[in-house]
Chains A and B, each alone.
Chain A
Amino acid sequence: MIPLSWYLTLAAGVFCIGLYGVLARKNAVAILMGIELMLNAVNINLVAFWRYLTPGNASGQMFAIIVFAVAAAEAAVGLALIISIYRRRNTVIAEDIDLMKW
């Protein structure tokens, strides 16, 4: 049997890598890819907890399914926004989209 802490540590590793991607990348689409990595790490966590703590209950898998739906919705809207910004300002570098900065 694989210890639960292995899964959680792996999910923590992927989460931190995704966090680095969000904080350190210039391109907006690359930031979105980091966000997807973080959501996947959360999903691994949820399903691991479901399997090891309450396998007879459907709650863990339910939570993971809702996270899937939210991730899909967020990716769609985020990419629509990025494409729209590209049409106006001809750039997708997050640092250059600073019209509302004081």
Chain B
Amino acid sequence: MYGLVALGYHITWATSRTMNFSQGAAVMAGAVVAYAVFVALGWPLPVAIAVTLAALACFGALVERVAVRPFFLRASPAWLLATIAVGIIAENVAQLTFGKDARAFPSPLMQKPIMVGSAGFYAQELLVPAVGLVLMGLVQLFYHRTSYGKQLKAVAWNPEAAGLMGINIPRAVMASYALSALLAGVAGILLAPLLNVSPQMGTIIGLKAFAVAIIGGLTSAPGIIVAGLGYGLVESFTAGYISTRAREIVGFGLVILVLVARPWGLLGEKPSRRV
């Protein structure tokens, strides 16, 4: 599930060499909107999912417009801080409208656990990695097989040249942000039944997903999915054998180790420096 959110970092990074640090807020928004439409308004599930995804795509586009475009191509970390700012605002807005309390999200896949030996799990838990893998496959296909995907890659490599070739850069970047937020929204919907829905749920997921993106390599979608699964496993083992809190310590410790040993990630491309 981290892999899915982390894929969103990869998508915007691959297009614009910027990242949406409010990915966590997008996950939260996905869960909150889905809750509002599905549980509170009682709309049918497919409609609720469609509405949520549309809302998230708009959120992504908005983030790009407000927090990234003004600073794109300017060599400054301003976009980083600006997206954090948007995330903070989104969290607060959710808090004001949704309330601070966590709420349960019902799902047909959470009714009874499937038992394998003594360990039990819910079908929903299987759905998350499955959807993650499928979406990764789609993203890869999109980048390598479609001309629009190739355009996005061209923007990443050399925005100036891509612009001269007639690619609408602002639109390409905005599209990548919309797509990235959309993935976070999918993650939000999938996670809503597993965790409880609350305005604070996003921050830590966003951070962990970022950790996963860096471990796997920001430039590599397969690397990110592998790292996402690995990170999830390491977390559950630490939580199981040591303690729940230690889980975070071990997880983020891992990031620091990876960055020291292989700053470009496990499967990422080693950047060459241009002089």
Q: Does B bind A? A: no
